[in-house]
Homo-oligomer: A and B are copies of this chain.
Amino acid sequence: MKPKRSFASDNNAGVHPRVMEAVAGANDGGHVIAYGDDPYTARAEAAFREHFGEGAEVFFVFGGTGANVLGLQSLTAPHHAVVCAATAHVNVDECGAPEKFTGCKLIALQTADGKLRPAQIEPCLARAGDQHHVQPKVISISQPTELGTVYTVEETRALSAFARERGLLVHMDGARLANAAAYLGATLRELTAEAGVDVLSFGGTKNGMMYGEAVVFFDPQRARDFKFIRKQGTHLPSKMRFISAQFAALLAGGLWLSNAAHANHMARLLAAELARVPQLNLTQKVESNAVFARLPPEHIAAIQKEYFFYVWNEETSEVRLMASFDTTEEDIGELVRVIRQAVG
């Protein structure tokens, strides 16, 4: 029996066939110089510049936590603070890597929807210039957020404008940025460079790649030392071409967008189905590939036995269901059937 496609995480999915082909293809090239000085990497970098603007400087790393913490490290000194949502991956899901790598404090703000707004950040700046206190330097946002919501381009711009005004910088955790782009119908450049983002983690793994993420700088000056930060940060892949080839496959023919759009579509479909189950409450807007819902706690275990997923918040009995690039309508039908059966 073919294993079921899970709704636990887009990390549970495998690799998109076209990405897998690209990986295999990169192996046909025989020997190439290691550490990125190879034609596959040159092509992938060119693809990034096409999507993010000519001034974009891109650095490939192994994974998303590495991309986030090294990006943050490039923007901060240890006495700085990083302002983020309490739900941010950098705050809760990286086992303290940001603190360990940067030495900075994270100032984690409670939000209803995972999104930061300038008015919330303003009070954190009250002690600017006072030597006793950490100095906020970076606003780190996740796009989409860990709650599946998406910042509009205007919202991102408002944060960036606030940041500029107050001497702060903007970091974007775009582990699923493609899903935000698909939702908003905006280009990657509009969502990042043109919206005032300074450093971006651009994710590939959750969108059909095997491994590999990118750190993208929109001001070449900020990228100057990043090659050293990446290497010292243990994220300089020796056989770089195999990450580069994946990114090239993703970005070249629109695969990044169609994968994300499909996952978003499946999430909306799932949400629509769940909305019709009276025992369930959707708790967040479905703007990307995540569906958050409150389930009767007594039924969760039974459903998880058939379809493993994560309980997001034990106290509120809220669960997270993620669609992937390879989720099918049949999968959704089957999950909804299991849920309906469980909740009776």
Contact = CB atoms under 8 A, between A and B. Distances in A.
- Oligomeric state, in number of copies? 4
Is the interface on chain A under 10, 10 to 19, 20 to 34, or 35 or more residues? 35 or more
Q: Interface centre among A8, A64, A235, A239, by most B CB within 10 Å?
A: A239
A263 interface: no
B104 A99 contact: yes
A11 B227 contact: no
Interface in A183-231: 205-206, 210-211, 225, 227-231
A188 B65 CA distance: 32
Nearest to A16: B27
Contacts of A167: none
Contact of A29 (B14, B104, B106, B308): B14
Interface string A55-67: 0000000111110
Secondary structure type dominating chain A contacts:
loop
A232 B31 contact: no
Nearest to A64: B238
B12 A32 contact: yes
A155 interface: no
10 contacts: A12-B31, A12-B33, A14-B29, A63-B234, A63-B238, A78-B96, A79-B232, A93-B132, A100-B233, A105-B106
